[in-house]
Amino acid sequence: MKYRHSTAQSAAYLRLALKHMSQQEAGLHPASYALWYEYVAGTNPELKAAVDAQLERDGRLNEATTHALYARHVADFDTQTALRIGDSVNQIVEQISESATTAGEQASRFGGSLESWTDALNLPTGHGPLASGVEDILRGTREMQAAIRVLQTRLEESRHEVQQLRQEVARAREEALIDALTGLANRKGFDLALDACLKEVTPETHGPCLLMIDLDHFKRLNDTLGHVFGDQVLSSVGQILRANVKGKDTATRYGGEEFAVILPHTPRGGAIGLAEALRALVFASRVRRSGEKEALIGNISVSIGVADHIPGESATEFVSRADRALYTAKAQGRNRVVLAPRPPPAGVK
């Protein structure tokens, strides 16, 4: 993880970062957020030097400058950490807002008590040091109430900004887990989904199962028909997976021409059935070459390895068994589904 700050450290850095952000011409978006967080935390000396130089030259950072500095010096910002930091900002704003509300209520009660006390004493307005002192206190109390009301308004605006910021960071995180070409989860999305899936495994659950899917002869297809058509094939397979993998199941582009499907609650028989259905759908599909209305290319096939999880098996072992089954399918002639063997029970030879 890139950021290892405690909650208290994060809160302190956030207050400083938000102050800097509010003084710039750039919007309050994740890129600006990441840039100024690293700036005040002192974790990125090159970024700090670049920002200081830019501020000395232009006075403030605009949108273009902020994004350029972000791309050059921050770029790998951890969106999961950004969400956690966003929560901390929200908590800080909430705490300050509650304090301001309490202070406002106390000032209101004090002012009311002071006015009641003045009426009870029947002090002549503007006459005598006591009456003049009470008027000064009342005037100061009213000014304090007005200042607190302004603070509450600004805090409410800040709360909305923080909520918008969290939504933008959450959206960025979702986009970071999606493969742009196929619309499926990418490799990082696969890792997160598989980890979550295995954490839910109990002795009573059926599954999980894993499908590893690879396009047959993809390099030859690319070499003969071009990479643009290769991308169209990948996109087409992605559409088939999106249309047929539903619910809690997760379809992903594992990498290159390889795909994976995680089936958290599907037993072995159901996984094999889905794998066969997907294989048949891909083989029956036709992909149109870009710019050629009549050029429909068929006979595209996939090989699929299926593994059902063994209790106690790690994610790496689980994927490796499914992958070995996939390569067995390739070795047996491609365009087929192969189930990964399970090791014999302990003590059985």
What stretches of the chain adopt beta strand conformation (E)? 209-215, 250-255, 258-263, 287-288, 296-297, 302-308, 337-339
Give the closest residue to 36 by CA, choosing from 54, 51, 53. 51
β-strand 337-339 against 302-308: which pairing, if any? parallel
64-101: burial string, b at 16+ Cβ within 10 Å, e else: ebbbebbeebbeebebebbbebbebbbebbeebbeebe
Distance (Å, whole) CA 91 – CA 89: 5
Residues taking part in catalysis? 257
Q: Which of 43, 47, 31, 38 is nearest to 17 (CA)?
A: 38
Helix (H, G, I), strand (E, B) or coil at 128: helix
What does DSSP assign to residue 309?
P
